[in-house]
Amino acid sequence: MECYAVSHSCELVNNLQTKALIIKSVMDNTIDKDHHGKLYSSWSSTMFVKYILEKNII
């Protein structure tokens, strides 16, 4: 839901010149939810963004 709001906001501003890039890791676990899942999820998203920026993929 939040990703849609960001994407839609980008469409509304700057005559469609602003593009959204949304990187999100899923951490849903119905059993044994803990803080480590959130940490790993944020770490994996960060490492992915770092990789694509270092390799000039975007």
Full-model pTM: 0.69
Domain limits at 42?
A: 25-58
Q: What is the C-alpha to C-alpha distance for residues 45 and 2, in angstroms, rounded to an integer?
A: 16
Query: Is residue 14 in some structural domain?
Result: no
Q: What is the DSSP string of the chain?
A: -HHHHHHHHHHHSGGGT------------SSS--HHHHHHHHHHHHHHHHHHHHTT--
> Per residue of the chain (58 residues), what is the pLDDT tens digit?
889 999 999 989 988 888 888 998 887 766 776 778 888 889 999 999 999 999 999 8
The reported pLDDT for the residue numbered 1 is: 82
The reported pLDDT for the residue numbered 39 is: 87
Q: What is the C-alpha to C-alpha distance for residues 49 and 58, in angstroms, rounded to an integer?
A: 10
Query: Is residue 17 in some structural domain?
Result: no
Query: Is residue 44 in some structural domain?
Result: yes
Q: What's the total number of domains in the chain?
A: 1
Do 42 and 25 contact (CB within 8 A), yes or no? Answer: yes
The reported pLDDT for the residue numbered 52 is: 95
